[in-house]
């Protein structure tokens, strides 16, 4: 079975679906061993106004929150760092098409991004993008035996 | 002479009557203007209430706006959903926990409640514990006895989120939620607008 290369930003069978607009995340597994990657699948769908606000780079506007449930701890970061991305030119003036939607995907190893997850414990994760927030997913990291 | 006396009395009586009418008129005008100013400036009343609340923040007592928590968890309510820049962002909260949760919190649940504020129109976030635990001696909790599954211990908090999250001094769109252990509160969207 081919190993999933993470991070990647393409659709996969585990990707969540979004009906109209917003951001959503999914974990196929909710318990991970310490040595395993903590794989998070995500998707977003936005309109022209949000694409413009994101300067054509929506992944740089999706904030991930990971909170530890059994101890105090929180981590946050954007899915993609925008500092090295040249924003796309988006002409102003044209009237927005209210039906236009642009979507995308992300598949990441949360442990690569979030050092907090190096420790066994109970956590939850959610994503936030502009006026939208995803479901909150609880998961745990088990001690390696 | 009699006619002169009657005339004098008549004039005097009329003067008293006019005086009485003027007095009554004046009194009702001030009452009306009080009512009118209250109606025209409800903002004054709200500002006074906010001022009253701000003077006593943070506090950990039940407030008339405090949310209710039905079984276990934490809940939030905001004093309003649109705040002017510089105005206190008043958050009213409540929690209800079982013995296991109280034990995990070492008897100090407020030191384990995290307020999370996320900015919606720009990618930014702030989180802060409600109470700092560093100078508080944890209460000893005896864990030998079996937990009573029906036991509940609750409390309240009223805070100015502005004191915890400096970025709330910028106009923008935000949301806020609270988290403690396995529980999270409702998520509330609010805005800070320019004066």
Binary contact (B114, A138; C-beta < 8 A): no
Q: Does A67 touch chain B (CB under 8 A)?
A: yes
Per-residue pLDDT for B29 more than 50?
Answer: no
For B132-183, the pLDDT digits (tens) are: 876 666 666 555 567 888 889 999 999 999 888 988 989 999 999 999 999 9
Per-residue pLDDT for A95 more than 90?
Answer: no
Binary contact (B118, A65; C-beta < 8 A): yes
For B90-127, the pLDDT digits (tens) are: 999 999 999 989 888 888 899 999 999 999 998 889 99
Binary contact (B114, A72; C-beta < 8 A): yes
- Per-residue pLDDT, B128: 92
Per-residue pLDDT for A139 more than 70?
Answer: yes
Strand order in the sheet with B90-97: B73-78, B90-97, B153-160
Residue of A7, A45, A42 lying closest to A26 (CA atoms): A42
Please tell me the distance in Å from A22's CA to the nearest CA on chain B: 12
Distance CA B168, CA B191 (A): 10
Residue of B38, B96, B32 lying closest to B67 (CA atoms): B96
Tokens at residue A98, please? 């209210």
Residue A36: φ, ψ to 5°: -85, 150
Per-residue pLDDT for B37 more than 50?
Answer: no
Q: Centre a 10 Å sphere on the Cβ of residue A93 and count the other Cβ atoms it contains.
A: 4
**A contact residues 93-132, partner B, Cβ 8 Å cutoff:** 122, 124, 128, 130-131
Question: Over chain A, what is the mean pLDDT?
Answer: 89
Q: Which segments of A70-120 are extended strands (E)? A: 74-78, 102-109
The closest CB to that of B120, out of A60, A67, A131, belongs to A131
Report residue B10's pLDDT band, with 50, 70 and 90 as the boundaries. Answer: low
- Per-residue pLDDT, A90: 60
Where are chain A's structural domains?
22-142
Binary contact (A78, B187; C-beta < 8 A): no
Distance CA B77, CA B161 (A): 12
Q: Centre a 10 Å sphere on the Cβ of residue B97 and count the other Cβ atoms it contains.
A: 24
Q: Does A71 touch chain B (CB under 8 A)?
A: no
Tokens at residue B140, please? 């000893």
Distances in whole angstroms, Cα of residue B189 to Cα of each of A81, A132, B109, B135 = 25, 10, 25, 33
**Chain A residue nearest residue B186, CA to CA:** A136
Per-residue pLDDT for B6 more than 60?
Answer: no
> Which whole number is the average pLDDT over A139-143?
95
pTM, rounded to two decimals: 0.78
For A97-129, the pLDDT digits (tens) are: 888 889 999 999 999 989 889 999 999 999 999
For B46-58, the pLDDT digits (tens) are: 455 555 555 588 9
Q: Looking at B56-165, list the stretches that DSSP marks H as alpha helix, in order from N- to C-terminal side.
A: 99-104, 161-164
Q: Which CATH architecture is the domain A22-142 placed in?
A: Sandwich (2.60)
Contact residues on chain A for B130, CB-CB shorter than 8 A: none
- Per-residue pLDDT, B36: 37
Binary contact (B114, A131; C-beta < 8 A): no
Contact residues on chain B for A128, CB-CB shorter than 8 A: 118, 120, 175
**Chain A residue nearest residue B109, CA to CA:** A72
Residue A32: CB partners within 8 Å, gap ≥ 6?
A38, A139, A140, A141, A142
Distances in whole angstroms, Cα of residue B16 to Cα of each of B20, B22, B23 = 6, 10, 11
For B55-91, the pLDDT digits (tens) are: 588 999 999 999 999 899 999 999 999 999 989 999 9
Instruction: Look at A2 and A56; give whichever has higher pLDDT.
Output: A56
**Chain B residue nearest residue A58, CA to CA:** B123
Distances in whole angstroms, Cα of residue B113 to Cα of each of A73, B13, B92, B131, B185 = 11, 75, 13, 8, 10
Please tell me the distance in Å from A114's CA to the nearest CA on chain B: 15
For A22-36, the pLDDT digits (tens) are: 999 999 999 999 999
- Per-residue pLDDT, A82: 72
Q: Does A72 touch chain B (CB under 8 A)?
A: yes
* Residue A145 parent element (H or E): none
Distances in whole angstroms, Cα of residue B55 to Cα of each of A2, A136, B11, B160, B184 = 62, 36, 58, 10, 28
């Amino acid at each position: 079975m081919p190993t999933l290369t993470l991070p990647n930003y393409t659709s996969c069978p585990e990707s969540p679906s979004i009906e109209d607009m917003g951001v959503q995340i999914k974990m196929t597994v909710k318990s991970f061993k310490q040595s395993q990657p903590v794989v998070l699948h995500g998707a977003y769908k936005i309109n022209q106004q949000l694409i413009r606000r994101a300067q054509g780079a929506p992944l740089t506007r999706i904030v991930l929150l990971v909170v530890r449930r059994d101890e105090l701890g929180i981590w946050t970061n954007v899915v993609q760092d925008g500092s090295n991305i040249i924003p796309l030119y988006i002409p102003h003036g044209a009237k927005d098409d209210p039906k236009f939607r642009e979507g995308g995907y992300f598949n990441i190893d949360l442990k690569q991004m979030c050092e907090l997850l190096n420790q066994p414990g109970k956590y939850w994760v959610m994503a936030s993008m502009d006026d939208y927030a995803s479901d909150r997913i609880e998961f745990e990291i088990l001690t390696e035996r | 002479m009699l006619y002169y006396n009657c005339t004098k009395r008549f004039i005097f009586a009329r003067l008293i009557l006019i005086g009485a009418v003027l007095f009554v008129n004046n009194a009702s005008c001030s009452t009306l203007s009080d009512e009118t100013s209250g109606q025209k400036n409800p903002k004054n009343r709200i500002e006074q209430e906010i001022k009253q609340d701000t003077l006593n923040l943070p506090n950990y007592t039940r407030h008339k706006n405090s949310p209710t928590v039905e079984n276990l968890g934490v809940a939030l309510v905001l004093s309003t959903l649109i705040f002017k820049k510089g105005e206190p962002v008043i958050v009213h909260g409540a929690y209800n926990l079982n013995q296991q949760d109280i034990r995990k919190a070492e008897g100090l649940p407020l030191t384990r409640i995290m307020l999370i504020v996320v900015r919606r129109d720009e990618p930014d976030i702030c989180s802060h514990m409600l109470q700092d635990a560093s100078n508080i001696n944890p209460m000893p909790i005896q864990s030998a006895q079996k937990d009573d599954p029906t036991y509940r211990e609750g409390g309240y908090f009223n805070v100015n989120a502005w004191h915890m999250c400096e970025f709330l001094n910028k106009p923008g769109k935000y949301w806020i939620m609270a988290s403690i252990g396995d529980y999270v509160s409702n998520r509330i969207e609010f805005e800070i607008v320019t004066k």
